[in-house]
Structure 1
Amino acid sequence: MRLFLLLFLSIPAASSAESSSTSVSRVDFPKGFVFGSGTSAYQVEGAASEDGRTPSIWDTFAHNGNVGGTGDVASDGYHKYKEDVKLMKETGLEGYRFSISWSRLIPRGRGEVNSKGLEYYNNFINELISHGIEPHVTLLHFDLPQVLEDEYGGWLNPRIVDDFTAYADVCFREFGDRVSHWTTINEANIFALGGYGQGILPPKRCSPPFGNCSSGNSIVEPYVVAHHFLLAHSSAASLYKKNYQAKQQGSVGLNLLVFHMLPATNSTADISSTKRAQIFFTGWFMEPLVHGDYPKIMRKAAGKKMPKFSSKQSKQLMNSFDFVGVNYYATVNVVDGPNHVPAYQRDFMGDICANITGLWMSGGRESMEAGMNAPYGLKGVLEYFKQNYGNPPIYVQENGYPMPSNASLDDTPRVKHMSAHLESLLDAVRNGSNTTGFFTWSFVDAFELFGGYSSSYGLYRVDFGDKERKRYPKHSARWYSHFLKRRGNSIYTDKSSSYVPQIY
């Protein structure tokens, strides 16, 4: 019988952002620290079949009814990028994180570059630079070209390493004179688990009893895909360091979604399970990047399912990152519980629980919101990296708070969430964390991977019912602008501020 590890997201109300007040200010952060916001290509660009772009696995996933809507038009960022950059400037953003659509730039996945796609990204980057905003670029945000998935299975095939490296080479060559911050793969750990283990992300691969998909193998595929993620990342990073870094003076990193994990009780079992779960979720990628191999505890649990690195690959991995991108949304509590399923019958989650316990998300909306309103967890995550992985440079590349898409423009809960998490971030930096940037998710409302257009994270509302996709500033946009422009040092609640972003 399969046993799920229970990640209880019930955080005490007294610790939530709703009850927090803060005196954090922009000027409290070190010189060179960058504040920004972000989105990704499929979630905001739209123009899905315009100017030579071909479908990605995310297009296919959405069009098969897995989300509730599609990104065919999304926020229409492809046509409204100048207006959006003007809004960024008025807001005071110092950096903007976005992703490049591989299938827009190279429609066949390899080979000929699409001149229209190249022109769009050049224009967008130039627009950011001309407004004094640092471009932070992600190469892959869940949107592998569908043609490569169809041709050889995409990330399941080692051929993907060469194709990804060639794609990265085009980006470094064409944009690297203006882009100094490169992230190879977004949420590599969750992409592998969700896309190939549970089937809740593109390309929706899984097997019973772990998920309901038309094809896949939940027991093996997440490990194979993660292995190819690491090899593709290190190959692209090696190329950048060899051919471009000395001249372009940029940096390259990999992004992970990281939970702050706490034992549900002070029992030895819960404490041990928490450490084990953190190793599986974070150490799965960080151990190879820092030490050149997967964690021993994972190899023991997964056995032959886990691929091996050659000595050359191991060495290349250990020199492949200048920073780590961290997406932080929630704190979770881990509880112990027995599981004795044989390795060949276990998926990734079962391997975490092997011979001891299990964990996974449990609880309804209230407990999820409690977990997201645990700002101390951000400091905990950054401390974990400092203590376990040599305090690498870190960009917090996503942190956000969801609200219903039809909610009022007065998104005070999001403001309180932002304010409390910035205080937690400052505590971590003052305690020695080598964190160098923070990006809210998201700048404008977007087509969300979970829920489509039913929930929103944006600082700016997008009217998806309006053909023009007009933008409207929320209270959080005004607050963040006030923070970035150093106009105060407390939670900003005056909605009659002299700063009034224009509406497009």
Structure 2
Amino acid sequence: MSINNIIIVISLLPLFLLISILGGTHGVDNRYDFPSDFIFGSGTTAFQVEGAAKEDGRTPSIWDTFVQSGQQTEDIDVGCNQYHKYKEDVKLMADMGLDGYRFSISWSRLIPNGRGPLNPKGLEYYNNLINELLLHGIQPHVTLYNYDLPQALEDEYGGWISPKIVEDFSAYAEVCFREFGDRVLYWTTVNEPNVFVIGGYDLGFLPPGRCSFPFGKYKNCSEGNSATEPYLAMHHSILAHASAANLYRTKYKDKQHGQIGISIYGISLAPSTNSKEDAHVAQIARQFFFDWVLHPLMVGDYSSMMKKIVGSKLPIFTKDEGNLAKGCYDFIGITYYGEMSCKYLPNNWTVEDRDVYADLQAQIEIQSAAKRSLTSTKGLKGLLEYLIQDYGNPPIIIYENGFEAERNASLHDVPRVKYIMEHIQVVFDALRNGSNINGYFTWSFIDVYELLTGYETSYGLFYVDLDDPDRKRYPRLSAKWYSNFLKGKASTSLDFDPTTEELLFYS
């Protein structure tokens, strides 16, 4: 998924011009320059690729409801149809040479009511997908939650704003550990809580679309409280993660030998101007968005800065909850796309009435993809250094990294190749400088239904023809370059054949 609602049209440079720009560089020769146990992969999530939305016992999630409410209009019932085409997709992964595939489980496909009886067809599908991956030598990296809470739990008690979610999520997680954990060695509990709590409960542009006036910037708010609900949703996300992680560690880890973590959106925040005010709020925002998630995982409580800014709206960890949260991770997943800008925005709201951004006294804006592509490597470098300096260099897997383009049938995605190449180089440099990075995954393996833009934009290594009833996949240039890199046939300085002005493709 991407946090970018700006649709861009890519104007491809002639390839000879790109060669002239990059010809003098020399980077990582190939993936074998990395440690032998370093994991290279790609990913998708259930709602974004599976389709089969009304098949074999699956019930609606809050994302289904959000789409059908008119916030997004595309038909997602069939989508990319990975539910029926998973064997074909796994074969493409194997042909590319991927080490790992990151995917999520649809909670409402596996347990239609959110709790209670399992859906045999859902259980069969995920067993089949995992087995197919292993048959082809590909590691399954499983995310338990990615924006798609069963609608049944949302209707019953409000989902993530209720403490009841912690018990239900833990029960769901245990089903997954019990049924799939003999073959899954990498678990992510919750994906990007620092995004879905703001988008879903403050600004209202993500599922379940809750917000309150005047903070709902992308919809008319009919229910919600932007001042309090984001903090409740985050608190329960942390407790749900901690409960599931501790369950795994105490009951399953010794037998299954896997690792469990949480994935955070890696926001790289830069001041909008050179003013002291913008620099100050950018510094606070950097701490805020990471501290919100990571500080409780490190010390069992929110930071003093968070407490000072948010005041009584910030939920309190009990002693037992703090002990549960502290140290409850084996790795931290990072999703990273580029920089955002941060501008000081003074306000006169009382503490009780402020939303998250008003608490920060900042306006945070997504930079255009064109600008982001020029500054993003600097941002990733700074983010990795920040994790070392402020959080003691925890084990990291970069689980999403990709370049957004207008979705079309063009397979010649040179800007995406350049983007991936540059970020792999940053990862390599960070490793040499002591960063504890263990893996790098591109977003996304195939074109998916994007969180904010639906099918209008894409990140896929493979183009999916949605006009074709069979949803045929076509490899883009990025898929071919990445495959070459993984097979030791391409470097991060780009290998070109000047006679054809093409990358050296794998055979």
Give the structure-2-normalised TM-score.
Answer: 0.91
Aligned to 1:78: 83
Aligned to 2:371: 370
Aligned to 1:449: 451
CA contact (8 A) 1:135 1:179 kept: yes
Aligned to 1:389: 391
SS at match of 1:65: helix
Aligned to 1:257: 265
- Superposition deviation, residue 429 in structure 1: 1.1
Q: Which gives a bigger RCO, structure 1 or 2 (Cα 8 Å, sep 6+)? A: 1
CA contact (8 A) 1:292 1:318 kept: yes
- Superposition deviation, residue 499 in structure 1: 2.4
- Superposition deviation, residue 372 in structure 1: 3.9
Q: Distance in 2 between matches of 1:426 and 1:483?
A: 13
Aligned to 1:478: 480
CA contact (8 A) 2:494 2:503 kept: no
Q: Distance in 2 between matches of 1:65 and 1:492?
A: 45
CA contact (8 A) 2:481 2:503 kept: no
SS at match of 1:269: helix
CA RMSD of aligned residues (A): 1.5
- Superposition deviation, residue 337 in structure 1: 4.3
Aligned to 1:349: 357
The answer to whether structure 1 residue 112 and structure 2 residue 114 are counterparts is no
- Superposition deviation, residue 270 in structure 1: 3.4
The answer to whether structure 1 residue 399 and structure 2 residue 404 are counterparts is no
SS at match of 1:438: strand
Matched letter for residue 235 of structure 2:
H
Q: Distance in 1 between matches of 2:484 and 2:496?
A: 10
SS at match of 1:313: helix
The answer to whether structure 1 residue 305 and structure 2 residue 310 are counterparts is no
Matched letter for residue 302 of structure 2:
Y
Q: Distance in 1 between matches of 2:322 and 2:26?
A: 44
Q: Distance in 2 between matches of 1:368 and 1:483?
A: 25
Matched letter for residue 372 of structure 2:
G
The answer to whether structure 1 residue 192 and structure 2 residue 197 are counterparts is yes
Q: Distance in 2 between matches of 1:428 and 1:481?
A: 22
Matched letter for residue 451 of structure 2:
L
Matched letter for residue 288 of structure 2:
F
Aligned to 1:380: 382
Q: Distance in 1 between matches of 2:137 and 2:87?
A: 14
The answer to whether structure 1 residue 359 and structure 2 residue 363 are counterparts is yes
- Superposition deviation, residue 427 in structure 1: 1.3
- Superposition deviation, residue 287 in structure 1: 0.6
Aligned to 1:487: 489
Q: Distance in 2 between matches of 1:200 and 1:334?
A: 20
Q: Distance in 2 between matches of 1:498 and 1:422?
A: 19
Q: Distance in 2 between matches of 1:310 and 1:84?
A: 46
- Superposition deviation, residue 304 in structure 1: 1.1
- Superposition deviation, residue 335 in structure 1: 3.5
Q: Distance in 2 between matches of 1:252 and 1:309?
A: 22
Aligned to 1:145: 150
Q: Distance in 1 between matches of 2:503 and 2:331?
A: 39
Q: Distance in 2 between matches of 1:222 and 1:38?
A: 27
- Unmatched 5+ residue regions in structure 1? 1-17
1:413-452 alignment runs, 5 A limit: 413-452=415-454
CA contact (8 A) 1:35 1:95 kept: yes
SS at match of 1:110: coil
TM-aligned CA distance change 1:362 to 1:438, over 3 Å:
closer
Aligned to 2:4: none
Aligned to 2:410: 408
Offset from partner CA, 1:32-89 (integer Å, 9 cap, x none): 1100000000000000111111000001111112123032111100000000000000
Aligned to 2:179: 174
Aligned to 1:285: 293
- Superposition deviation, residue 215 in structure 1: 0.9
1:64 to 48, 69, 78: 69
CA contact (8 A) 1:277 1:359 kept: no
TM-aligned CA distance change 1:417 to 1:498, over 3 Å:
closer
Matched letter for residue 298 of structure 1:
M
The farther-off stretch of 488-497 and 159-168 is 488-497
SS at match of 2:101: strand
Q: Distance in 2 between matches of 1:27 and 1:264?
A: 39
Offset from partner CA, 1:339-386 (integer Å, 9 cap, x none): 342111210000011xxxx131166xxx34312442121121111111
CA contact (8 A) 1:287 1:293 kept: yes
Aligned to 2:7: none
Q: Distance in 2 between matches of 1:427 and 1:481?
A: 21
SS at match of 1:469: coil
Matched letter for residue 285 of structure 2:
A
Offset from partner CA, 1:7-43 (integer Å, 9 cap, x none): xxxxxxxxxxx86645222122122110000000000
- Superposition deviation, residue 264 in structure 1: 4.3
1:15-30 alignment runs, 5 A limit: 21-24=25-28, 25-30=30-35
Q: Distance in 1 between matches of 2:372 and 2:208?
A: 28
- Superposition deviation, residue 133 in structure 1: 0.4
CA contact (8 A) 2:481 2:505 kept: no
- Unmatched 5+ residue regions in structure 2? 1-17
CA contact (8 A) 2:480 2:505 kept: no
CA contact (8 A) 1:441 1:458 kept: yes
Q: Distance in 2 between matches of 1:493 and 1:291?
A: 50
The answer to whether structure 1 residue 48 and structure 2 residue 50 are counterparts is no
CA contact (8 A) 2:340 2:366 kept: no
- Superposition deviation, residue 426 in structure 1: 1.1
- Superposition deviation, residue 263 in structure 1: 3.4
TM-aligned CA distance change 1:488 to 1:220, over 3 Å:
same
Q: Distance in 1 between matches of 2:325 and 2:505?
A: 50
1:331-342 alignment runs, 5 A limit: 331-342=339-350
- Superposition deviation, residue 267 in structure 1: 5.0
Q: Alignment identity in percent?
A: 54
2:106 to 101, 104, 108: 101
Aligned to 2:226: 218
SS at match of 2:79: coil
Q: Distance in 1 between matches of 2:273 and 2:303?
A: 25
Q: Distance in 1 between matches of 2:276 and 2:62?
A: 43
- Superposition deviation, residue 496 in structure 1: 6.8
Q: Distance in 1 between matches of 2:279 and 2:61?
A: 41
CA contact (8 A) 1:70 1:447 kept: no
CA contact (8 A) 2:495 2:503 kept: no
Q: Distance in 2 between matches of 1:442 and 1:454?
A: 15
SS at match of 2:141: strand
TM-aligned CA distance change 1:166 to 1:270, over 3 Å:
same
Give the structure-1-normalised TM-score.
Answer: 0.92
How many residues are aligned here? 476
SS at match of 2:70: coil
CA contact (8 A) 1:102 1:140 kept: yes
CA contact (8 A) 2:405 2:457 kept: yes
Q: Distance in 2 between matches of 1:411 and 1:465?
A: 20
Q: Distance in 2 between matches of 1:389 and 1:193?
A: 23
